[in-house]
Structure 1
Amino acid sequence: MSARRTAWWYYVIAALLGLLLGAMLFKTDEITRLSLIGAPWFVSFVLVLLGVVVLVLALQVHQYAITDPTKRKSWVDPTKAVYTLMLSKALGVAGAMLAGWYLAQLLLCLPHWGARYYQSVVIQCGIATVICIADMIVGIIGEWLCQLPPSEGPDDPKIKTAKRRERRRKAIAGSVNKRRC
């Protein structure tokens, strides 16, 4: 199985989509007078916890991947490694989108700073934005940590290059031997 790195523009699109949706939520909040904006402290706590868990899992997979096979003291389930990779990818993109979501609410609430309600929303969204950006960075780093080092199997580029050189050398040697005959 071959997994590709998440392209940088996925994060940009997710953040822009989050900005758009956050702005729409703010406008809906203003029109309907419902209290929809802000970030409960529980959400920020869960986002921090999720980032820490993903980082710890990614570090475990990375440690296993870089350790010499003869010196490994523990074993990492391949399914766990794949789940950690997917979790890192999802955390990165979700972190970007949620950062945009909370940043839009924060920016649109700043002009209303005088009202106590908006002051608490700005503080909550500011903290949530920082946490989401940190989660996005943890997701990107976790995805990098889950990369496997190149193996020296038949698909290794060094071995393929060596085989090509050997074939070329044999072909040249074969043509030289034919000329001598």
Structure 2
Amino acid sequence: MGARRTPWWVYAAGIVVGFAAGALVALFEETHSLGLLGAPWFVSAILVLLGVVVLYLAFQVHKYTTTDPKKRAELKTFEPERAVNTLVMAKALAVAGAILLGWYGGQLVLCLRHAEASYYHGIIVECAIACGAALFDMIIGIVSEWLCMLPPTEGPDHPKIKEARRRQQFAH
């Protein structure tokens, strides 16, 4: 069983669910004043740092999987579990980025009505920065997932084999 790419609608659903939850929290904040809105700057910094780490790991997997098998012996040993873990982290980063993008976007949109108040102005800035970090993570997660794809094997589904079989059929 091979891993499949995450469909686009999973990201769209994550954004919608996150937006609804973030908007509900913003509405709840207006009536109860609990201080649940926004995100401190270090949360956004950690999100970006996580994205960079996952991208680095995905580049290592991509480099190993695209290296000629004869030259792989020269590289350090690379465990398959590491590649699988990197793929799982990339998928999780992309989906979490989509949900957080919706979460902070929902808060941002509902707080725009109160932009003139200094409290809400600070939250709008925090949410905008967090939205950027979450969008970065979603994109990095999608790219990292792509980088973790294995090249096709020389089996019956490989494009070269299919083309050779098609030519052989025309020759007969």
Q: TM-score, with normalisation over the residues of structure 1? A: 0.86
Q: Which runs of 4+ in 1 moved over 3 A?
A: 153-170
How many matched pairs? 170
Query: Following TM superposition, by how much is the alpha carbon of 1:157 offset from its aligned partner in structure 2, in angstroms?
Result: 5.1
Structure 1 residues 67-124: Cα deviation after superposition (integer angstroms, max 9, x where no partner): 1111122232100100111111111111011001101111111121121111110010
Gaps of 5+ in 2: none
Instruction: Report the RMSD for the aligned CA atoms in angstroms.
Output: 1.8
Equivalents in 2 of 1:107, 1:168: separation in Å?
61
The amino acid of 2:32's aligned partner reads T
1:64/1:75 contact within 8 Å kept: no
Aligned ranges 1:12-161 → 2 under 5 Å: 12-72=12-72, 73-153=75-155, 156=158, 158-159=160-161
**Aligned letter for 2:108?**
L
CA contact (8 A) 2:38 2:126 kept: yes
Structure 1, gaps ≥5 residues long:
171-181
Contact kept, 8 Å, 1:109 with 1:121, in 2: the verdict is yes
Moved more, 155-164 or 107-116: 155-164
Greater RCO, CA 8 A, separation 6+ = 2
Q: CA deviation at 1:47?
A: 0.5
Q: CA deviation at 1:36?
A: 0.6
Instruction: Look up the SS of the partner of 1:69 in the other structure.
Output: coil
Greater C-alpha Rg? 1
For 1:162-173, list aligned pairs within 5 A. Answer: 162=164
Aligned-partner residue type, residue 144 of structure 2: G
1:131 maps to amino acid: A
Partners of 1:124 and 1:98 in 2: how far apart? 13
Please give the alpha-carbon distance, in whole angstroms, between the structure 2 residues aligned to 1:46 and 1:68.
35
In 2: Cα distance, 1:62 partner to 1:39 partner:
33
Percent identity of the aligned residues?
Answer: 54
Instruction: Write the distance in 2 (CA, Å) between the matches of 1:38 and 1:157.
Output: 50
